Amino acid sequence: MSLIRPTTGTGGGDEGVPRGGGEHGAVAAPAGTARHAALRARPRGGVVRAVAVLVLVTAAALIPLFGPRAALDGTGEAETPGAGGIALLRTVLFAALCVPAGELFVARLVRRVPGAPTGAPRSWAPHAAAAGFLAALGLASVVATGNLVPAGVGDIDVGGLYETRDGVLALLEVNAFAAAGLCALFGRPAAQVWPLAAIAVAEALRAHPTTEHGPLVGSALTLVHVACAALWVGGLLYVLRTLRHWRGTRAEPLSQAEGSGAALLGLYARVAAVLLAALTATGVCSTLRRMPPETVLEQSTTTAYGRVLLAKLLLMVVVAALALVARLRLSRASDPLTACTPARAEVVVLGVVVAVSALLTAVPVPIRW
């Protein structure tokens, strides 16, 4: 009697298992093929996201660089030397303020979510602080040369910064970003609130020189406006990053991660409604202080400041519409996390709003007669 040796499979290492499957002998897919395909697709998806982010950042940089010339075209107003570069630096500064402020804000919201998954996405605060430090340093060099773009290091009068109000505020922002970066690097994120608050105060004071009428009132309005904008923009960005992190972790069930994500998004949406109301109120008041009510419509098309302000207003209408769609999906859709789609679009438009807001600081302020 002869012994028949079992056939050895070549795919999974199991002996005696034929490679054919089913009555037609179709070859069965090895276990884990779908998983391997998904893993192979992840780097490709990461590349697509990286390219998309690069395109968006480039587009956002073009707004402050070429915006002043476009806004001033046909108005008869003179362009400030280096206005595009100054607007770009201030765009980076505003964005660098939003990122850590949003992380601190959302971290507090997460603590109010029952059963929230452990862990959080990697903080971008150190990178934001470094970018903000460099931007503030560049703006300080402009102030040190009499609000002109320096042609060389020899043109920068560092000692002169201590002798002017704008110089002291510029130095305050440089030091505050350095302090915020150190807090983030050494594991003291909560301590960032003080240097971030100092940056917001410095920006509010810088925007309203003592020569204008009621500078403290204007600074107070700007402070509330900047603080609310930083919490809104940075908060939404970090909420979306947190939701993505929770869904990608294997430590918690997917249903729990999705439920916690919907709860976090709901908490943020309620606070965002208050932030939007505060932004609208302070924005309207600041506009009326710069432009009399009877001239707002005329100056919105005949002055660079009015044109940029009009562009910002239209963008904010788009942002509000996207926020409303996200809120409706969050409360009425069978899957509340479908609200993430309009929320992602909202983040993109808010990034453009940040760039336009920075552009607003680089064009001439209309003269109020």
pLDDT value of residue 231: 97
pLDDT value of residue 19: 42
**Structural tokens at position 308:** 């940029």
Which of 43-47, 111-115, 198-202, 294-298 bottoms out in mean pLDDT, i.e. has the lowest? 43-47
pLDDT value of residue 154: 76
**Structural tokens at position 287:** 């506009």
pLDDT value of residue 257: 78
- Spatial distance between the Cα atoms of 127 and 324, rounded to a whole number of angstroms: 32
Which of 222-226, 237-241, 254-258 bottoms out in mean pLDDT, i.e. has the lowest? 254-258
Tens digit of pLDDT for each residue in 192-219?
A: 999 999 999 999 999 998 888 889 999 9
CA–centroid distance for 64 within its chain: 16
What integer is the mean pLDDT of 332-339?
Answer: 89
pLDDT value of residue 36: 42
Burial 168-196 (b: 16+ CB within 10 A, else e): ebbbbbbbbbbbbbebbeeeebebbeebb
Mean pLDDT, all residues of the chain: 85
- Terminal-to-terminal C-alpha distance of the chain: 114
**Structural tokens at position 303:** 């002055």
pLDDT value of residue 32: 43
> How many CB atoms lie under 10 A from the CB of residue 98?
27
27's enclosing H/E stretch is strand 26-27
Nearest Cα residue to 125 out of 89, 96, 88: 96
Long-range contact pairs involving 132-135 (C-beta distance under 8 Å, separation at least 24) = 132/92, 132/93, 132/96, 132/97, 132/173, 132/177, 132/180, 132/199, 133/174, 133/177, 133/178, 133/181, 134/92, 135/89, 135/90, 135/92, 135/93, 135/96
**Structural tokens at position 95:** 């964005």
Helices (H), the chain: 33-72, 83-110, 125-144, 165-185, 193-206, 215-248, 254-290, 296-302, 304-332, 340-360
| pTM of the complete model | 0.84
* 118 vs 250, higher pLDDT: 118
Which of 122-136, 144-158, 160-174, 226-240 bottoms out in mean pLDDT, i.e. has the lowest? 144-158
User: Per-domain residue ranges for the chain?
Assistant: 62-360
How sure is the predictor about 227, in pLDDT bands with cuts at 50, 70 and 90? very high
* 152 vs 255, higher pLDDT: 152
How sure is the predictor about 29, in pLDDT bands with cuts at 50, 70 and 90? very low
Q: What percent of the chain has pLDDT over 70?
A: 85
**If you write DSSP's letter for every residue of 304-338 in order, what string do you get?**
HHHHHHHHHHHHHHHHHHHHHHHHHHHHHSSSGGG
Could you tell me if 93 and 129 are in contact, meaning their C-beta atoms sit under 8 angstroms apart? Answer: no
**Beta carbons within 8 Å of 254's beta carbon, 6+ residues apart:** 247
Helix (H, G, I), strand (E, B) or coil at 15: strand
pLDDT value of residue 252: 58
> What does the DSSP 8-state code read for residue 186?
T
**Structural tokens at position 257:** 């991660």
How sure is the predictor about 8, in pLDDT bands with cuts at 50, 70 and 90? very low
- Spatial distance between the Cα atoms of 129 and 164, rounded to a whole number of angstroms: 25
**Structural tokens at position 108:** 């507090």
CA distances from 98 to 61, 105, 143 (A): 17, 10, 23
Q: What phi and psi values does residue 20 have, to the nearest 5 degrees?
A: -75, 150
